[in-house]
């Protein structure tokens, strides 16, 4: 099986929430995670773990001494103990499922790591002698030769040559990419394969430090560090657990005193107190918190983005400034012909016809767009160059023009040229002709709009201007509007002059722009925003982007970019798609929304449990508490057991939501809070009432209580 097929299969498998292989593995891990050293890492669930041990010990003791069970009976104690163990196991299962998806992704990447032979050069140049070495013997700074069919042994920089490289094993994209020395496309990744030609590489990392090694470490949940928000939430959950622990412990002496003072009633049992504690502490979110974090990184991986840590994913959710490159992100990247502006005495169709003729052999995106526009506007069809007696004149940096010479037996020579305004002006004035002032005015107007003017001439006659426009991507303005509603400020970065940048920024609907951008200017802008307390995200692929990427809170480096950019960023986009930054922010916000929604649901759950357990435990001492039994539960034992069973089952019910994430909506913070409270707050209040009552009816119907 090919690497790309293997990666695709693993990705598909990991995408399934309840894939049988993952479920089987997670069930085994649920048992393995009962190790106290693992349980201790989650304080909330550790309390449940200790409660399970305690109730199990009491049940075993009740088998030898029935008096230990009191009036509840050893069967009740066994049922409580079993469901507490189920609660712990279900929490372990949720975490194991999330980790299993990450480990499946890591396994597919680990399969790409193969020991390969490399051709180590004696001198850093093509043609020098080489000798074979294994890839794990290479070190940073070594120079190797890779030829067609060879695997690239380790990450490196191209110092000589140009070649087509298959990166499908890493990115999943089947189309090969060109890697060459110099520029922003000199970085290569270990494990990819050269398809044609040859490259001389300088190894950039030592074995075990490659991009593939870092990817494997990043996607394995076991190496995930808790994020600041997750740590803060854990502290809150621990504080709530301690409060309820103190309250529960004091209930036993309070119960003893009340029974002694009243001279009647039943003392609350330790089993019931443990059940009360487990139901009141935030076990639902405590059980799912780790799974939510791991699943967030897993979702990022499914989007073909490698995050160096959970911190980067979470920071993406808190970002309030997005800095985006203009070319390829906001615009299509290729200028397109948008309109014809004829000179006085020239019709628009004449200009379009000449412009199309001059572009027939021009394979650049701009040239092809002129042919297409002339066809769309005037139905002008492409013509065969041979039938026109045509000779194509290619563009050169010296003339800054291109065009076509036409001559047939029945017609005189036509010399059609298109190029920059000053180049065409020199061309026609050299022939003694006048350059029309009206054309110069049109050139200035086009430039003022942020477009590029292209002048067309036929011999010494200037025919007019073709406007080449940097086309803003469809739908991008609406996406920026969504981000604005979320409170995120968008900033366009471009090397264009301020006039051009302002025109494109206005059309795209960004909030701000940085024109004539330099590495220093990008860095200063990021620091200025951060000094205002904002979190900044940006994309980059070049070495000149590295300082800004290192400074940004969320820095997405393109996989096709330089090694310096990838090392400076805290995320790497395997697809090298600059617009992925928008998806990254959405994934980060989905992580925060999921955690917030399930926390709201978990805390709201406790209210219903009060009405189930408190009356059941103390109605023997205070009969007036029967008024709080709004669910009309069958008996105290049924009420306690129903609450414990619901507490365990709700964890299993919420695992798919924790792994998949709460659906992301681009709405403001206030609207999001209202929606969160309406769905998960109200739902957290209503669902337990229904669930606990249903379980009570089932237990009574089966005569289990």
pLDDT band of 14, cuts 50, 70, 90: very low
With tokens 């699943």, the residue in question is 295
| Beta bridge mates, 144 | 120, 201
| 49 touches 36 (CB < 8 A) | yes
Q: 397 labelled as ligand-binding?
A: yes
From CA 562, how far away is CA 182, in angstroms rounded?
10
91/74: higher pLDDT: 91
pLDDT band of 3, cuts 50, 70, 90: very low
What lies within 8 Å, CB to CB, of 118 at 6+ separation is 132, 133, 134, 135, 138, 144, 146, 153
| 313 touches 300 (CB < 8 A) | yes
From CA 659, how far away is CA 98, in angstroms rounded?
7
Output the pLDDT for position 253.
85
Helix H or strand E segment including 540: strand 536-540
pLDDT band of 103, cuts 50, 70, 90: low
Q: Round the average pLDDT of the chain to a whole number and report it.
A: 82
Residue ranges of alpha helices (H) inside 263-324 are 270-280, 283-302, 310-318
First to last CA, the chain: 57
Q: 541 labelled as ligand-binding?
A: yes
Output the pLDDT for position 55.
93
Q: Kindly provide the residue ranges of all beta strands, DSSP E only, lying in 563-641, ordered along the sequence.
A: 571-573
Q: 551 labelled as ligand-binding?
A: no
Q: 136 labelled as ligand-binding?
A: no
| 139 touches 154 (CB < 8 A) | no
From CA 453, how far away is CA 446, in angstroms rounded?
6
Q: Above 70 in pLDDT, residue 63?
A: yes
pLDDT band of 33, cuts 50, 70, 90: very high
Output the pLDDT for position 85.
96
Q: Above 90 in pLDDT, residue 191?
A: no
The secondary structure of 320-341 as a DSSP string is -EEEEETBTTTEEEEEEEEEEE
From CA 268, how far away is CA 249, in angstroms rounded?
11
pLDDT band of 575, cuts 50, 70, 90: confident
Output the pLDDT for position 174.
53
From CA 516, how far away is CA 502, in angstroms rounded?
11
pTM reported for the whole predicted model: 0.64
Q: Kindly provide the residue ranges of all beta strands, DSSP E only, lying in 373-503, ordered along the sequence.
A: 390-393, 401-408, 411-419, 452-458, 461-472, 489-493
Output the pLDDT for position 616.
76
Output the pLDDT for position 216.
63
**How many contiguous H segments (helices) and E segments (strands) does the chain have?**
24, 20
Q: What is the mean pLDDT of residues 311-339?
A: 81
Query: What angle separates helix 74-110 from helix 636-660, to the nearest 10 degrees?
Result: 10
From CA 372, how far away is CA 356, in angstroms rounded?
8
Q: 396 labelled as ligand-binding?
A: yes
Distances (CA, A) of 494 to 134, 182, 326, 498, 662: 44, 21, 6, 9, 35
From CA 182, how far away is CA 158, in angstroms rounded?
7
140/302: higher pLDDT: 140
Output the pLDDT for position 5.
34
Q: Above 90 in pLDDT, residue 609?
A: no
Exactly one of 325, 458, 606, 696 is catalytic; which is it?
325
Say which DSSP state 125 is in: S
Q: Above 70 in pLDDT, residue 48?
A: yes
Low-confidence winner among 504-513, 658-667, 686-695 (lowest mean pLDDT): 658-667
Say which DSSP state 253 is in: H
Output the pLDDT for position 612.
80
Give 499-540 pLDDT, tens digit per residue: 778 888 888 899 999 988 888 888 899 999 999 988 899 888
Output the pLDDT for position 512.
92
Told to judge if 325 belongs to the known catalytic residues of this protein, a careful annotator would answer yes
CA geometry: angle 388, 391, 397, nearest 5 deg: 140
From CA 407, how far away is CA 412, in angstroms rounded?
6
Helix H or strand E segment including 536: strand 536-540
Q: 302 labelled as ligand-binding?
A: no
Sheet holding 390-393, edge to edge: 331-342, 461-472, 452-458, 411-419, 401-408, 390-393
With tokens 């011999």, the residue in question is 459
Q: What is the mean pLDDT of residues 462-483?
A: 86
| 280 touches 244 (CB < 8 A) | yes
* 508: helix, strand or coil: helix
- Tokens read off for 524: 């200063």
Q: Above 60 in pLDDT, residue 10?
A: no
Q: Above 70 in pLDDT, residue 475?
A: yes
Q: What is the mean pLDDT of residues 40-46?
A: 90
Output the pLDDT for position 57.
92
Q: pLDDT > 70: what percent of the chain?
A: 85
Q: 693 labelled as ligand-binding?
A: no
Q: Above 90 in pLDDT, residue 334?
A: no
Count of residues in the chain:
705
| 144 touches 118 (CB < 8 A) | yes
- Tokens read off for 142: 């070594």
Residue ranges of alpha helices (H) inside 337-436 are 348-359, 365-378, 421-429
Q: 398 labelled as ligand-binding?
A: yes
Q: Above 60 in pLDDT, residue 294?
A: yes
Output the pLDDT for position 410.
66
pLDDT band of 630, cuts 50, 70, 90: confident
262/615: higher pLDDT: 615
Q: Which of 588, 589, 548, 587 is nearest to 565 (CA)?
A: 548
């Amino acid at each position: 099986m090919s690497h790309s097929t293997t990666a695709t299969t693993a990705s598909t498998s990991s995408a399934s929430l309840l894939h049988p292989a993952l479920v089987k593995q997670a069930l085994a891990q649920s048992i393995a995670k009962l190790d106290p050293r693992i349980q201790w890492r989650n304080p909330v669930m550790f309390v449940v773990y200790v409660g399970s041990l305690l109730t199990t010990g009491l049940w075993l003791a009740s088998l030898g001494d029935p008096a230990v069970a009191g009036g509840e009976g050893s069967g009740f104690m066994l049922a409580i103990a079993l469901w507490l163990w189920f609660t712990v196991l279900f929490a372990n299962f949720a975490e194991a499922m999330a980790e299993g998806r990450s480990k499946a992704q890591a396994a597919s990447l680990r399969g790409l790591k193969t020991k390969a032979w490399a051709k180590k050069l004696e001198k850093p140049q093509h043609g020098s002698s080489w000798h074979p070495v294994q890839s794990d013997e290479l070190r940073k700074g070594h120079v190797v030769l890779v030829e067609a069919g060879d695997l690239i042994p380790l990450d490196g920089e191209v110092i000589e040559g140009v070649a087509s490289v298959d990166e499908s094993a890493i990115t999943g994209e089947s189309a090969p990419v060109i890697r060459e020395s110099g520029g922003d496309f000199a970085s290569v990744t270990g494990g990819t394969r050269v398809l044609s030609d040859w490259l001389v590489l300088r190894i950039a990392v030592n074995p075990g430090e490659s991009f593939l090694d870092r990817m494997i470490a990043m996607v394995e949940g076991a190496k995930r560090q808790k994020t600041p928000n997750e740590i803060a939430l854990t502290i809150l959950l621990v504080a709530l657990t301690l409060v309820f622990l103190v309250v529960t412990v004091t209930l036993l002496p309070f119960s003893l005193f009340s029974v002694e003072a009243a001279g009647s009633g039943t003392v609350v049992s330790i089993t019931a107190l443990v059940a009360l504690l487990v139901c009141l502490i935030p076990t639902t979110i405590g059980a799912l918190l780790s799974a939510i974090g791991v699943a967030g990184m897993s979702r990022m991986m499914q989007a073909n983005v490698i995050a160096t840590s959970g911190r980067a994913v979470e920071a993406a959710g808190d970002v309030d400034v997005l800095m985006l490159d203009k070319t390829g992100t906001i615009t299509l990247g290729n200028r397109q012909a948008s309109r014809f502006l004829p000179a006085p005495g020239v019709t628009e169709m004449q200009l379009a016809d000449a412009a199309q003729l001059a572009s027939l052999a021009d394979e650049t995106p701009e040239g092809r767009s002129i042919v297409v526009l002339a066809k769309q506007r005037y139905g002008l069809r492409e013509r065969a160059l041979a039938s026109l007696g045509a000779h194509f004149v290619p563009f050169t940096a010296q003339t800054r023009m291109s065009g076509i010479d036409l001559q047939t037996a029945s017609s005189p020579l036509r010399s059609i040229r298109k190029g920059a305004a000053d180049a065409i002006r020199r061309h026609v004035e050299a022939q003694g002709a006048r350059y029309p002032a009206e054309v110069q005015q049109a050139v200035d107007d086009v430039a003022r709009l942020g477009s590029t003017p292209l002048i067309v001439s036929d011999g010494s006659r200037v025919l007019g201007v073709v406007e080449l426009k940097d086309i803003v991507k469809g739908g991008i303005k609406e996406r920026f509007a969504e981000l604005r509603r979320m409170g995120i400020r968008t900033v366009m970065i471009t090397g264009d002059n301020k006039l051009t940048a302002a025109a494109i920024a206005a059309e795209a609907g960004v909030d701000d722009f940085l024109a004539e951008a330099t590495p220093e200017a990008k860095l200063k802008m990021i620091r200025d925003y951060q000094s205002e307390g904002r979190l900044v995200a940006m994309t980059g692929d070049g070495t000149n982007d590295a300082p800004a990427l290192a400074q940004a809170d969320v820095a997405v480096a393109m996989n096709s970019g330089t090694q310096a950019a990838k090392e400076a960023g805290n995320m790497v986009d395997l697809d090298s798609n600059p617009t992925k930054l928008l998806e990254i922010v959405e994934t980060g916000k989905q992580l925060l929304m999921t955690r917030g929604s399930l926390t709201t649901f978990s805390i709201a759950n406790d209210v219903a449990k009060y009405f189930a357990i408190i009356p059941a435990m103390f109605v023997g001492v205070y009969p007036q508490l029967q008024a709080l039994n709004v669910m009309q539960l069958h008996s105290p034992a049924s009420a306690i057991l129903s609450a414990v069973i619901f507490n365990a089952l709700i964890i299993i019910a919420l695992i798919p939501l924790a792994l998949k994430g709460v659906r992301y909506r681009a709405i403001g913070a206030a609207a999001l809070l209202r929606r969160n409270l309406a769905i998960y707050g109200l739902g957290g209040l209503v669902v337990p009432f229904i669930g606990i009552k249903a379980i009570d009816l089932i237990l009574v119907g089966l005569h289990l209580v």
